[in-house]
A and B are shown apart, each in its own frame.
Chain A
Amino acid sequence: METLEQIKNRAELAARGAKIDIVQNGSPSQQHSLLIDNEHAVAVAKFLRDHPALSFDFCSNATGVDWLDRTVKKTTKVKQVVDGVEKEVDQTTEEKVPGYLEAVYHLFSMRLKHGPLIIRMRTADRADGARLPSLTPVWRSAELQEREIFDLYGVRFDGHPDLRRILMWDEFVDHPMRKDYAPPDDYEWEPTPHDEVLERAKQHQAARPQLDGAEKITAPQS
């Protein structure tokens, strides 16, 4: 398989105006990926599928990622005059990066037996109607998985032939895989709470009126 830089250059030449970034992966897997702008995503995807030297004819996996708003701290050295002497001083600036939703596709070539090539698309924000172009017209195998991303992350795919919820029921309004999803509070008494459940147990027990000397909680003898 060609390197990511080669694929990026080819794709940018083929799809005019396309803007592709390489997203580095610092983990031991070193699985870097291509970030494709939404406007030209379908054209780039068609190019990746149809070019004889690339021929990514199989989309094995499509999934979503939720990135929350975050602040990035940057430290720069600034020259400052302190007590009449010029010194280099560290200056920290905080930059707020707005959150976004991401769709990640893993592509393979059955014909040339290479892959995976990982491509990503990002929404503008984390709003409920966040949109991305659908790649189902290019790879049919993305159809159900894009429905799953829509169901669990709330990304709307333009051009998807049948965008409905796939795992949760149609009346459901939340998107459970989003990091700010709060599940329905149906806590019950647990015989052996631990970790997160212990935290929830403490919250629920504290919410009840305290009796004098009430410290122990036991289950009724049945």
Chain B
Amino acid sequence: MTEQIDEGLRAELQRQGIWVTSMQELYNWGRKNSIWPLQFGLACCAIEMIATAASRYDIARFGGEVFRPSPRQADLMIVAGTVTKKMAPQIVRLYNQMPDPKYVISMGACAISGGPFKQGYNVLKGIDRYIPVDVYIPGCPPRPEALLHAFMELQRKIDNQKLSGAEKADFLKPEQPSEFPVPAFGEHDLNPPANADVYHPPKLERV
């Protein structure tokens, strides 16, 4: 385990041409530098996501340039844009089809909370009602730098995930669900309007 190696000793060994690492570190290093996003966009945030993938911002510098057209080959879902209620079941279904370990970036005000459409009747008030979100990026739309920042945050998160022990990552725990129920189209709204196992809204407290 890396934690058991003295950092000073490790640096000294490295100077002598001996590189000491752990399985966990090597594994996470590989994972965090080859995050393959799922290729889909929902609204104007998708334009910023495309700009991030293009040469000026170049998400390839972080190993995230391989946008996959199939959820079976993707590690990361970037929910880039407004999620309408009609689209929400498809998003959840795509998420369910992704293999573990999988991550979600909720990009922009709409994907976080419904944004300017929150008071409307046809926009989902945040994708975190149905699937767990790892990184939220505020903005309308967020600039490519913000998406890159979120990407780096996600890399940091992956780097810190444990592979064994009681604090190991959720995707390694068999009891943790990796698929979530797809909401059904109801007569007035999606049914259910939120997944209570996933979504924990802020609660009011009277003082």
Chain A residues within 8 Å of B, Cβ to Cβ = 167-174, 176, 181, 183-184, 186, 188-189, 196-197, 205, 208, 211, 214, 216-220, 222
Measured CA separation A184–B125 after assembly (Å) = 12
Measured CA separation A82–B119 after assembly (Å) = 57
- The contact size tier of chain B is 20 to 34
Chain B residues within 8 Å of A, Cβ to Cβ = 85-86, 119-122, 125, 185-189, 193, 201-207
Q: Which of A167, A171, A181, A217 contacts B204 (CB 8 A)?
A: A217
8 A-B pairs besides A171-B186, A189-B201, A219-B204 with CB distance below 8 A are: A172-B187, A174-B187, A183-B120, A197-B119, A208-B206, A218-B205, A220-B202, A220-B205
Measured CA separation A147–B95 after assembly (Å) = 31
Asked, given contacts A172-B187, A173-B187, whether A196 binds B86 with beta carbons under 8 Å apart, the answer is no
- Taking a contact as CB atoms under 8 Å apart, the answer to whether A216 and B187 are in contact is no
Identity of the chain A residue whose Cβ is nearest the Cβ of B187 in the assembled complex: A173
Q: Which residues of B contact A174 (CB under 8 A)?
A: 187-188
Asked, given contacts A168-B122, A169-B86, A214-B206, whether A184 binds B193 with beta carbons under 8 Å apart, the answer is yes
Q: Which residues of A contact B202 (CB under 8 A)?
A: 189, 219-220, 222
Asked, given contacts A184-B193, A188-B125, A196-B119, whether A169 binds B185 with beta carbons under 8 Å apart, the answer is yes
* Chain B nearest CB, measured from A211 CB (Å): 5
Q: Which of A171, A176, A186, A205 contacts B122 (CB 8 A)?
A: A176
Measured CA separation A220–B185 after assembly (Å) = 33
20 A-B interface contacts by CB (under 8 A): A167-B86, A168-B86, A168-B122, A172-B188, A176-B121, A183-B120, A184-B121, A184-B189, A184-B193, A188-B201, A189-B204, A205-B204, A208-B204, A208-B206, A211-B206, A217-B207, A218-B207, A219-B202, A219-B205, A220-B203
Q: Which residues of A contact B122 (CB under 8 A)?
A: 167-168, 176
Measured CA separation A173–B191 after assembly (Å) = 14
- Taking a contact as CB atoms under 8 Å apart, the answer to whether B206 and A217 are in contact is yes
* Chain B nearest CB, measured from A144 CB (Å): 16
